[in-house]
Structure 1
Amino acid sequence: MSIGVLYVVATPIGNLQDFSPRAQSVLRQVDLIAAEDTRHSRHLLKHFGITTACQSLHEHNERQQSSVLLQRLQLGEDIALISDAGTPLISDPGCYLIQSALAVQIRVVAIAGPSALISALSVAGFRADRFVFEGFLPAKALARRQRLDSLAHETRTLVFYEAPHRVLDSLNEMVQSFGQEREAVLVKELSKVFETVYRDSLGGIVKWLGVGRQKGEFVLVVQGAPPPDNNVLTPEVKRIFQLLGKELPLKKAAKLTSEITGVSKNSLYAFGLEQKKL
């Protein structure tokens, strides 16, 4: 008996015309569809006349349900994994199932299609050859601020998902961590009737969003930080270096300051030697 195939199927993020014929065909032919929310997915499946049985697979039951799905796959059944919208696993459940399937040599096949991440990045106008996808930021303010602070000097384009009830708080904290002049693009309701792509500084987006525009599904694309000039010793860099130099040998102080600030340790070491001559 042949082992079944696990298909990872992308579904529309809004516009139903984005649902590929291949994706529809796979969902019709498989023995079972594992859906993040079966109630939500049934509307999509009914629209396209797909009557395949569904089983829920979400973040709260994934480990338990995965063992059942693996047994069915090993018995020769084909299963399709879908999320509520877009490409599964991109800030959606399914990773444990995929890892478990691969561990027992079950074939996993991607059925490509819509992704809010890639769609937003493609229209933002920032560099997209290298980027950082952060998904949803932490729900708690302190953890969210710590995550943003850790990204303040990231030079690659940053992409975030955010919920409508938290988007303004997150943007205000980005202003604090990245500065209000950092350029960004807010994309809401991708591929839907009221799709909006708003380009401005972070400060400008906060003002624009704060007047009753906080409904919808959001993707925020933030321009990366400018590359540091590794030879420029700002007053703040010098202050950090001098403070560390009081407790550490010159070479170690230069190395640690470089790790903190991104400034070349050779430049710092040379500066320290000059200071000793004064």
Structure 2
Amino acid sequence: MTGAQARAAWLAWLAAERRASPNTVEAYGADAAEFLGFLTRHLGQEPDLGALGAMVPADLRAFLADRAAAGDSPATRARRLAALRGFLRYLTRHHGMAALPLGALRGPRPKPPIPRALTAADARRVATEAGDVHALGRREKPALQAAREVALFSLLYGAGLRIAEALALDLADAPLPGGTAALRVRGKGGKERLVPVLPAVRDAVAAYLTQRGPGSPAEPLFLGARGGRLDAAVAQRSLREFRRLAGLPEHATPHALRHSFATHLLGGGADLRAIQELLGHASLSTTQRYTAVDAAGLLATWRRAHPRARE
């Protein structure tokens, strides 16, 4: 079996047996083709099943180094390695190829993207004006929908919640004026945390509940058009419409409000450990990403303001 035949058999198996999506099959097929082309150049001839089974980890490292020289990002190289592991594992299990000692081979670790926060002014606009249709010349929204958007986005920015956490709240959890000092949030993995809620956020939630009307404590706090729990896609679409009409940047999303909460706290001098607790991060290293955002903001301010920054 030639390398090309092995690749074709693997892709057919992915599509038929594993029901991989067409995009996945196409991407993995391209990765395998790149690798087989590299081996052909590396060995001086097209590899067959025996040549593939005789590989050593250094061959894969050489391929990844070749792709890095060609401009592949760490994330792309990590994806290619994952695809090749699957390809070689398939050949071992289904075509009797010798198992390769790849357990100790580690791919490049892609750097996590730096969170993209909004400016304080833009975040405040989203939190307070998302339901203000008159200011943007839009067709008027129902009062309930407008109040719901202000309450939801105020909660995301004012308390740093993930949108899924906010939409999972029930009426019994609603932070209201005069209520308990902190909101109990259930985050990833069922981990609970307490988050203080600003008076302005409590007022926005109270204004929304005036429009929403009463209900049982177990009912969703944020209702959709059909009376069920509000879908995250609806909130995302609403903010997308608002940002376009208001001239806000494309990264103005519900999750960017959470990033903005953390970034603005850090810029105001908050302790990194405290921000970790407020966000519900299991690891401090996840929270430390916001130090890069703050440093980038300071550098941008310096470039704008310092007399010699443009020399």
Output the TM-score relative to the length of structure 1.
Answer: 0.23
Which is higher, the Rg of structure 1 or of structure 2? Answer: 2
Output the TM-score relative to the length of structure 2.
Answer: 0.21
Which structure's residues are more often strand, by fraction? 1
Which structure's residues are more often helix, by fraction? 2
